[in-house]
Amino acid sequence: MKKHNFFAGPSVLPDYTVEETAKAIMDFNGTGISLMCMSHRDKSFDAVMNRAVELFKQVLDIPSGYSVIFLGGGASLQFAMVPMNLLRSKAFYVNTGTWANKAAKEAKLFGEVDDHVSSKEANYTYIPKGFEIPKDCDYMHITTNNTIYGTEILEDYNSPIPVVADMSSDIFSRPLDVSKYGLIYGGAQKNLACAGVTFVIVKDELLGKVDRAIPTMLNYQTHIDKNSMFNTPPVVPIFAGVKTLEWIIQNGGVKEMEKRAIEKSTKLYDEIDRNKLFKGTVQKDSRSRMSVCFVMNEEYKDLEAKFLDFVKARDMVGLKGHRSVGGFRASLYNALPMESVDALVQAMKDFEKEN
């Protein structure tokens, strides 16, 4: 029996992606060679890479003047690559959680960082609003979905400086106006593919303006010039990403993904707010659609372990909150079906009745 998979990442992927990737691992396109064993220089894989770029541009309606590349190292490497390639003197970082803070820390190795806009004083329970974006910075960096604390930025900022966004965990969950961004990056293991590849969407005109020498492998232009194949790319995750993008198109595109995300998250938040045992952890106007974080009300704290055992017995996995905050976290990525949310809501109702 399949589990209800609420893991934060690596996480649930569409059955279509898993099945098609499994077929390719056994025999890629009838070549008699496993996808895991074939050369990335083979023309067959060259077509996969081109297809991945094509589908990114189609699904997100990326305008001309942007490049899409696929790299290793995860979003964590991008914390350093972004400032290495873009930071000339000063950058503006909005600190909304652990990953945003880590990104700012890396940027400080390359120049001045203004990170005074933050929700840290309130344990990252809200997205700062109404702040002024400084015009004297090279770019503004945001982390759109904060998986550990459960907040999400759901707007495309009108910014006087380029916006750089870590969209590791909410890419493809809503339509984007990509023209409002200078660079978008993210690890694939949430809403795109199995772990091992990182996507970068970058506005070409932003590159080549820093004075520092950039190591060849850490220069975005290197990978743009070589179609993401300067070195051996992670072929299996890229193929899986192609299949997920096909699945998104088959299921109505990012507009439909957003509709489903709203429906799933609303249903779960409604139960959290209704149920006497549970409470949300962040301000309601900052709640994430992808990462629903909640805890037991104080008088029921001793039931936390019991609830985790309760949902585990109902074939639900991945609901334990991040080790730094505790409680519970339900990751509602695109591939998670409404049936899983229904199962969790019913479990919460039943647990309430028993306790």
- Given this model, what pLDDT does residue 347 score? 98
Cα–Cα distance between 49 and 60 in angstroms, integer? 17
Query: Is 190 annotated as catalytic?
Result: yes
- Cα–Cα distances in angstroms (integers) from residue 182 to residues 155, 156, 285, 286, 323, in the given order: 15, 12, 26, 24, 33
Query: Is 166 annotated as catalytic?
Result: yes
Q: Do 69 and 220 form a contact (C-beta atoms < 8 A)?
A: yes
9 contact partners, CB below 8 Å, separation of at least 6: 147, 168, 169, 187, 189, 190, 195, 331
Tens digit of pLDDT for each residue in 71-125? 999 999 999 999 999 999 999 999 999 999 999 999 999 999 999 999 999 999 9
Block residue for tokens 């489903």: 260
Block residue for tokens 């982390």: 143
Catalytically annotated residue among 138, 170, 190, 264: 190
DSSP state of 301: G
Do 222 and 270 belong together in one domain?
no
- The span from the first CA to the last CA of the chain, in angstroms, equals 28
Name the domain boundary from 250, 275, 293: 250
Question: Three-state SS for 321?
Answer: coil
Phi, psi of 183 (to 5 degrees): -160, 135
- Given this model, what pLDDT does residue 2 score? 85
Average pLDDT, the chain: 96
User: What's the CATH code of the domain at 275?
Assistant: 3.90.1150.10
CA atoms lying within 13 Å on the CB side of residue 87: 26
55 is in which domain, residue-wise?
15-250
Do 242 and 261 belong together in one domain?
no
Question: Three-state SS for 183?
Answer: strand
Question: Domains in the chain: how many in total?
Answer: 2
Do 44 and 100 belong together in one domain?
yes
Do 261 and 337 belong together in one domain?
yes
Q: Say how many C-beta atoms besides its own lie within 10 A of residue 175's C-beta.
A: 15
Q: Point out the residues of the chain with pLDDT beneath 50.
A: none
Q: State the burial class of residue 98 (Cβ atoms within 10 Å of its Cβ: 0-12, 13-18, 19+).
A: middle
Question: Three-state SS for 201?
Answer: strand
User: What's the CATH code of the domain at 70?
Assistant: 3.40.640.10
- Given this model, what pLDDT does residue 345 score? 98
Catalytically annotated residue among 99, 115, 138, 170: 99
Catalytically annotated residue among 138, 166, 243, 320: 166
Question: Three-state SS for 245?
Answer: helix
- Given this model, what pLDDT does residue 64 score? 98
Do 43 and 152 belong together in one domain?
yes
Bridge-based pairing state of the strands 291-296 and 151-152: unpaired
Query: Is 247 annotated as catalytic?
Result: no
